Structure 1
Amino acid sequence: MDDCKARPVDIDRLEDIFRAREAAKERPIAIERHFQVLADREPQVRTRLVRVDRGDGQSHWDVVVEVDGVRAGGRALPPPLRGEASRIPRHRLDEAAQLERLQAHIPDHLAFSATPADWVRSVRRIRDPRVEPRIATTLFGSDDRRAFRDTAYPWSTVGLVETNRGSGSGVMIGPRHLLTVSHVIDWSAPAGFAADWVRFTPSYFDGTAPFGEAYGSHIYWYVQEDGDGFISGNEGDYDYAVVVLDRRLGETTGWMGARGYDDDWDSLDAWSHMGYPADLNSGQRPTWQGGFRVDGSDAAAQAVLHKADVFPGQSGGPVFGFWAGDVGPRAVAVQSWQNSSSNGASGSAAMRDLVARARTEFS
């Protein structure tokens, strides 16, 4: 079978083909945490470490940073992003030419597991919308989302996206490239910039950041969601953006690959999604659902329909699958919208081409 038409692996065969493994090379990593301050002169910074006893026999440390010289009550914001709109491609680029170029990457220092292994309990913080028939439901049948705290690859690649508009989800799609949803981006940027600040924390869980965090510095997009609270028209086909981060965070977390969608895959129980739903754990813990079907087409840009369970906060999380012979999974879309009859993700070949451009211009 042509590699371009190869079928993604059904979820029930996934672990037979992509076997879990431990890290190939154990080594400590360096992480970065950021916060901004407002000061009239260069502040003085002191740091110290405090040992924390949690009774589990592990070495927990509290890293304390003291900043002297901060303006009292001052608020400082992260830097905004530069960028310019990408022209919507008239012709989709050759899929074969992109397959190897947009391959996933697994760092040697991370273990691998095709499905999350460290499950945790969820606490429902927002009532189930299905109990009120006049509220559009986004959950179909039983709620199959499961919260986890696994930091093995590829769960290391997905995380919490924070902006002036609130929070959503996203995935590392290159060495310093974040794929997320357009409607979580604050497009009302200061003069001279394309968008306001974006912060990404991979594997975020209950406030923890095992791989640190990074901020956006540049952004690529086709369509800016207009902020009216509705995903309509072209927004449903192009509700995604690629953010170039201020450091090569993917060398620590790894990254997913990307590819277009083929409508021959509509009948396959091959797809997974991860995100941070606000109704479970107030968006503080990631959830995963796998083995669902999607309804797409060969169109270069499209809304990929599905009935996986989603809630606000999961927007921007990847819809992804695994293909035999690949290193790791590839994203075909990101979660975008929901209504009472279907849920929709935006993506396919045009999304893949936007990822390719960002990775070419910012390596």
Structure 2
Amino acid sequence: MEKLKKIFQGVPADSPIPKELLLEQENPRPTKELDRNLFITDAAKSFRLTEKVKDSAKLSVSKLNKELGQLDQISPFDWGIPGKTEEIISMEKLQTKIKSEKIKVTEAEAFVPETHILGLHPKVVFANTKSAKRNRLNRIVTKSANHTTIFGSDNRVNIYPNTYPECCVCRVEVYTKLTDASPWSYQGRGTGFMVGRKILMTSGHMRPQQPYKSWMIKVIPAYYDGRSIYGNSFYTYGESYIAYQSDVGNDMMVVKLYDNIGDTTGYFGAKSYNSDWEDMNVWTMTGYPYDKGENRPTYQSSISVVDDDDGDDVKLPDGRTVDSTQIESYADEASGASGSPLYSWFSNGQMYAIGVHHGNETDWELFGSNLHSVASGGDMLPALVVWARNNWGN
């Protein structure tokens, strides 16, 4: 943190850092070594047994190799961990009159780990040629329910996510079961990012969709070519979630995870967007869009916010209310990028996200329309992060 403050000396206080200044610096190296014992989560070691074999499940010597073990009666095992509690804050709930004071929370601090390379400019890799083809025109391309929005040239590149905060960005997969006996059914995927030791932020429309008997949200941080860069066993699941989506400004879902993976990856801070930052090309977005980031995260920097609109007032889980904001930019995006952070290093050495990527939206004006990428933010983002940290442990 102190090293970053020295690098950013001369930049105005409480200001995001221009990419040009970041490029002048080398990525600061880690000062501590990662504890590799943390690379296997409790979630990766857990499974559910049917009632019939709870007392009879055994680990024996493998029939293929005496140096290996094998689980007997593998068929009764059910992979994954279902969630426990959920709450969807509907438009009707938000429109209910709330007799409470409106609060203003402007920021939540990040955890910048000393065990990681700091990503002032992450490592660019070759594109994954297996990704879907993309359209480079400034329009939406719809195919198999997916969309792509590119503004002029595609400015996204694939990166290797071994730098902070890019290692905090997660691939998020959603599954449901119709009955206790049915298999898990894949519902879709998107992006999320760590905002606490065991707290994930993503889009509200990423929530499991009814009908279902049970739901499961799988979270894989720093996903690259089929697994986390921390190893095959570094992933976890959602235990609880609270989701909003009454308008574009509050399309957020905060998820309590079973494992404290943020202790290893670090996590983002959050900050309320300030309109003084409009047209500053200082923001970055990292995520897993289907067209270019199916297996390797995409990274786009030097994004500027071109407009911001007031969103619905939002009730926090404790009953207090906050403002939300629609943050508009020309960030290239596609299906799967939902839940990506819009973020920047700041002059105090902190890393703040100012928005949660929603998708795109058309602004209708007197002489036509304008298409933008849109993120959800405002006071709601840091306020929801602070609430989750205070109530779910941080």
Contact 1:45–1:66 (Cα < 8 Å) also in 2: yes
Tell me by how many angstroms 1:83 deviates: 3.6
Q: Deviations over 1:27-85 (max 9, x none)?
A: 4322223564554313324699xxxxxxxxxxxxxx9873222336x755531241435
Alignment of 1:308 with 2:331, yes or no, is yes
- Structure 2: how far apart are the matches of 1:344 and 1:134? 14
- Provide the residue aligned with 2:390 in structure 1: 360
Q: Deviations over 1:317-359 (max 9, x none)?
A: 10112210133x2111111112572211112211221111111
Q: 2:346 aligns with which of 299, 319, 323?
A: 323
Q: Structure 1 residues 326 and 94 mapped into 2: Cα distance closer, same or farther (>3 Å)?
A: farther
Contact 1:81–1:197 (Cα < 8 Å) also in 2: no
- Provide the residue aligned with 2:75 in structure 1: 71
Tell me by how many angstroms 1:218 deviates: 1.5
Q: Structure 1 residues 80 and 154 mapped into 2: Cα distance closer, same or farther (>3 Å)?
A: same
Q: Structure 1 residues 189 and 325 mapped into 2: Cα distance closer, same or farther (>3 Å)?
A: farther
TM-score normalised by length of structure 2:
0.74
Q: Structure 1 residues 290 and 130 mapped into 2: Cα distance closer, same or farther (>3 Å)?
A: closer
Q: Counting strand residues as a fraction of each chain, which structure ranks higher?
A: 2
Alignment of 1:178 with 2:217, yes or no, is no
Question: Which secondary structure state, in structure 1, belongs to the residue aligned with residue 172 of structure 2?
Answer: strand
Q: Deviations over 1:149-194 (max 9, x none)?
A: 1312111111201112211011101111101111121043756xxx
- Provide the residue aligned with 1:210 in structure 2: 229
What amino acid sits opposite 1:257 in the alignment?
A: G
Q: Structure 1 residues 125 and 132 mapped into 2: Cα distance closer, same or farther (>3 Å)?
A: farther
Tell me by how many angstroms 1:266 deviates: 0.9
- Provide the residue aligned with 1:276 in structure 2: 288
- Provide the residue aligned with 2:133 in structure 1: 127
- Structure 2: how far apart are the matches of 1:356 and 1:123? 40
- Provide the residue aligned with 1:350 in structure 2: 380
Question: Which secondary structure state, in structure 1, belongs to the residue aligned with residue 228 of structure 2?
Answer: coil
Using the aligned pairs only, state the percent identity. Answer: 24
Q: Which moved more, 1:138-147 or 1:104-113?
A: 104-113
Q: 1:158 aligns with which of 154, 169, 182?
A: 169
Q: Structure 1 residues 46 and 147 mapped into 2: Cα distance closer, same or farther (>3 Å)?
A: farther
Q: Structure 1 residues 166 and 175 mapped into 2: Cα distance closer, same or farther (>3 Å)?
A: same
Equivalence map 1:288-299=2 (5 Å): 288-297=299-308, 299=310
- Structure 2: how far apart are the matches of 1:4 and 1:38? 57
CA RMSD of aligned residues (A): 3.1
TM-score normalised by length of structure 1:
0.80
Question: Which secondary structure state, in structure 2, belongs to the residue aligned with residue 105 of structure 1?
Answer: coil
- Structure 2: how far apart are the matches of 1:47 and 1:153? 41
- Provide the residue aligned with 1:10 in structure 2: 18
Gaps of 5+ in 2: 1-10, 143-147, 176-186, 311-322, 363-370
- Provide the residue aligned with 2:267 in structure 1: 255
What amino acid sits opposite 1:273 in the alignment?
A: M
- Provide the residue aligned with 2:103 in structure 1: 93
Equivalent residue pairs, number: 326
- Provide the residue aligned with 2:110 in structure 1: 104
- Provide the residue aligned with 2:58 in structure 1: 44
Q: Structure 1 residues 20 and 125 mapped into 2: Cα distance closer, same or farther (>3 Å)?
A: closer
Tell me by how many angstroms 1:118 deviates: 4.4
- Structure 1: how far apart are the matches of 2:271 and 2:238? 23
What amino acid sits opposite 1:265 in the alignment?
A: W
What amino acid sits opposite 2:87 in the alignment?
A: E
Question: Which secondary structure state, in structure 2, belongs to the residue aligned with residue 342 of structure 1?
Answer: strand
- Structure 2: how far apart are the matches of 1:144 and 1:332? 20
Gaps of 5+ in 1: 49-62, 224-233
Q: Structure 1 residues 276 and 75 mapped into 2: Cα distance closer, same or farther (>3 Å)?
A: same
Which is higher, the Rg of structure 1 or of structure 2?
2
- Provide the residue aligned with 1:23 in structure 2: 30
- Structure 2: how far apart are the matches of 1:146 and 1:296? 25
- Provide the residue aligned with 1:54 in structure 2: none
- Provide the residue aligned with 1:59 in structure 2: none
What amino acid sits opposite 1:78 in the alignment?
A: I
Q: Deviations over 1:104-162 (max 9, x none)?
A: 11222222122212423332633323469784650011111110113121111112011
Q: Which moved more, 1:85-94 or 1:154-163?
A: 85-94
Alignment of 1:196 with 2:196, yes or no, is no
What amino acid sits opposite 1:113 in the alignment?
A: G
